Amino acid sequence: MSIQIKEKMNSLPVKAYKWLKLNHLKLGEDIGKSIKPYNKKSLKEVNDKNILIGNINNVISLNQYMDKLNEQESEYGVSKELVELAENFHNTGVFAHVPRNVTIEEPIRIEYVLDDDNDVVIDNNVIIASENSKITVVIDYSTAEDIDAFHNGAMKIYAKEGSNVDIIKIQRMNDKSYHFDSNLAIIEYGANVNYVQVEFGSKKSVTNYISNLKDESKSSIDSIYLGDKDRRIDLNYYMNHVGRKSISNIQTRGALKDRAKKAFKGTIDFKLGSSKSEGSEEEYVILFDKDVKSQAVPLLLCTEDDVKGQHAASAGKVDEEKLFYMMSRGFDKEEAMKIIVEASFNPIIDKVPLDELKTIVREEIHHRLVTEGNR
């Protein structure tokens, strides 16, 4: 991470993240002066001419949509300071607007690769899906070199009536990196926003997803995480039911080994006026070593009577008999562990829409559990 960034950041005020030891990072009012432009092409070629898409700084019609989005939610994400950093001082980002009744068949691919020349990525991404439109966006964060990298991002999604938005985020940065990511979705009548999150990298990672569900809307979060060595992972998901007959679902699968630590907080909030809504959440984590730490706080909040909500969180060690059986069939311990993790992760990996990225995710599991484990 650039020395200027380190020197110009204030202590994060969010007490919940103090255990991540992030308070050496400092945010200052003049931080924008020290952020270099991201000089790589992040948006892959888009062949569909029906979509308005491009760099967020170059889209003329951005303001009219941002005004609508900003009216919906004044504060969201990992912290107010980090969201403002992404929205006001970003060095990259993509804006996409899908017109009414248009389906974008091919996934929109965005890649942010951090290297020596781009050790800081601060991206601001905005997706507008008009009535009855459909779009899939895949964002991949990675590091090309052994650098001290810093990523902070913000994404806003405005899903209008009857639209469908699928967002897939893959984070596989190196062990020296910091990763902060804030996501907000406003989901109108009958619309659907689905998130798939793959969280495999970074020394310290904090992510936040918020869905505001209007009448008869739907939202889901399917996530997997893998913590090894001294990695710190913080996941915060919030389903805000404000409309009738809205539906939400959170499914999270994880694995922790070595001395990794993870905190998971999933909240389903049935606000007054959200009658006949349904929400569910479940988190399950595999614990490979005695020194890992797993915190889980599944919450159900309710100020409405006629709703259905359920939540569960569980953690378990690897079945020693199962592990012994697999090793007796010729697998070493690391390979057996990889097979167990993949069996848990596969239902969510299968939701990644591109075979190339599915392969990358599975290779990352192999790298974390087998290659590193055999060193």
Q: What is the 3-state secondary structure (H, E, C) of the chain?
A: CCHHHHHCECCCCCHHHHHHCCCCCCECCCHHHHCCCCCCCCECCCCCCCCEEEECCCCCCHHHHHHHHHHHCCCCCCCHHHHHHHHHHCCECEEEEECCCCECCCCEEEEEEECCCCCEEEEEEEEEECCCCEEEEEEEEEECCCCCCEEEEEEEEEECCCCEEEEEEEEECCCCCEEEEEEEEEECCCCEEEEEEEECCCCEEEEEEEEEECCCCEEEEEEEEEECCCCEEEEEEEEEECCCCCEEEEEEEEEECCCCEEEEEEEEEECCCCCCCEEEEEEEEEECCCCCEEEEEEEEEECCCCCEEEEEEEEEECCHHHHHHHHHCCCCHHHHHHHHHHHHHHHHHCCCCCHHHHHHHHHHHHHHHHHCCCC
Mean pLDDT of 340-359: 94
User: Residue 9 pLDDT more than 60?
Assistant: no
**What pLDDT score does 71 carry?**
61
- Looking at residue 126, what is its pLDDT? 92
The more confidently predicted of residues 162 and 78 is: 162
Span 43-52, pLDDT tens digits: 988 988 899 8
Q: Output the average pLDDT for the chain.
A: 87
pLDDT at 60 over 60: no
Across residues 59-78, what is the average pLDDT? 62
pLDDT at residue number 67: 62
Tell me, yes or no, if the pTM score tops 0.85.
Answer: yes
Q: Where are the domains of the chain?
A: 42-319
pLDDT at 35: 82
**pLDDT score for 57:** 77
pLDDT attached to residue 312: 87
Q: What is the pLDDT confidence band of residue 72, given thresholds at 50, 70 and 90?
A: low
pLDDT digits (tens, 9 = 90+) for 157-199: 999 999 999 999 999 999 999 999 999 999 999 999 999 999 9
